[in-house]
A = this chain, B = another copy of it.
Amino acid sequence: MIIVMKPGTAKDQVDHVVDRVTELGLQPHTIIGTERTVVALVGDERLVSRDLLESFPGVEKVVPILAPYKMASVEIHREPTTVAVDGFEFGGKRIGLIAGPCTVESRNMVIELAHEVKEAGAVALRGGAFKPRTSPYSFQGLAEEGLQYLAEAREATGLAVVTEVMASEQVDLVSRYADVLQIGARNMQNYDLLRAAGRQAKPVLLKRGLAATVDEWLLAAEYILKQGNPNVMLCERGVRTFEQHTRFTLSLSVVPQLKSLTHLPVLVDPSHGTGRRNLVEPMSRAAIACGADGLLIEVHDNPESAMLDGQQCITSQQFARLVESCRRVAEAVDREL
């Protein structure tokens, strides 16, 4: 960490900073500049609160040098992590497609869709049983009944099941049915939920918060990892910006950037990330082209009767075409699909 003192700081304030950081177990190096004095610290800066240092008299700002996460960092864990889901390895050479309805609406619907997306090339089925809805007047999901239908769809097709868990007290229930627990954007910093997901063994798909920085996202992953569950996958799903032509701004540059910072697999959700059906296929191709390890795609055979998010879901026919065009791009970047 680098402590930048205010211009004209008295020597005793600098000395005070030096004494305090020494007590805290770091080695300070004072550099007296022409306009400012800075104190550079050697040691594990994660042990010291930046806020604390910034509250010392005479300190203008504190600049961290190290990343705040450890277990998620590629510096500590150099080999890419692969996450096994029912035999498929996310993070390996093959790109994994997870497809299905936004919400589980009925048994027939989910089983039929499962067959269709499997045939088209999906390795897992997505579908919400517990749904985080902006409005209390919206359909909130079928809850356990929905989980049962998902499990039946797995029986029928062999597809792994990915479904959202919204609260720590649902973790037990959802992990009995699901192969992968999804933590949604709105819950990325629900720390009780992160810890509960970290205490069980199923892989976790951690979506990026709507306004989360990369550091905050990797620290959320760190909450899970720290509880002993190493099987965390990250999923970019669009961030909130001033842009209005899409529902969110899909920030694909985060994919190669994460690949340089973390060993965890990185997926992309172009359905929620754009909120527009016509953008799902081109952005799926783009996600693969820049290194995504998997995609999460909303598919519904009758979008007109979809209970939710009709505007962004594609039909299983469109999904089959998407798979074909993505396969070609995957090969062009030496991956498989």
Residue A111 is within 8 A (CB to CB) of chain B in the complex:
no
The stretch that binds B, out of A91-99, A118-126, A151-159, A250-258, is A250-258
A222 to B285, CA, bound (A): 30
Whether A55 contacts B311 in the complex (CB less than 8 A), given A49-B138, A189-B134, A191-B133, comes out as yes
**Residues A250-287 near B (CB distance < 8 A):** 250-257, 260, 273-274, 276, 278-279, 282-283, 285-287
A22 to B290, CA, bound (A): 39
| A62: nearest chain-B partner, CB-CB | B311
Whether A310 contacts B29 in the complex (CB less than 8 A), given A137-B46, A257-B276, comes out as no
The stretch that binds B, out of A79-87, A161-169, A174-182, A199-207, is A161-169
Residue A31 is within 8 A (CB to CB) of chain B in the complex:
yes
**Residues A182-200 near B (CB distance < 8 A):** 186-187, 189-193
- Contact status B167-A307, CB under 8 Å: no
Chain B residues whose C-beta falls within 8 Å of the C-beta of A190 in the assembled complex: 166-167, 186-187, 190
- Contact status B2-A38, CB under 8 Å: yes
Chain B residues whose C-beta falls within 8 Å of the C-beta of A56 in the assembled complex: 304
**Interface 1/0 per residue, A24-54 and B, CB below 8 Å:** 0000010111111010101110100101111
- Contact status B309-A51, CB under 8 Å: yes
Whether A166 contacts B187 in the complex (CB less than 8 A), given A2-B38, A33-B65, A287-B286, comes out as no
**Interface 1/0 per residue, A297-330 and B, CB below 8 Å:** 0000001111111110100000000000100110
Chain B residues whose C-beta falls within 8 Å of the C-beta of A14 in the assembled complex: none
Whether A283 contacts B253 in the complex (CB less than 8 A), given A40-B40, A55-B306, A241-B242, comes out as yes
- Contact status A253-B249, CB under 8 Å: yes
Chain B residues whose C-beta falls within 8 Å of the C-beta of A252 in the assembled complex: 250, 252, 283, 286
Cβ-closest 4 pairs across A and B: A55-B310, A211-B211, A289-B289, A286-B290
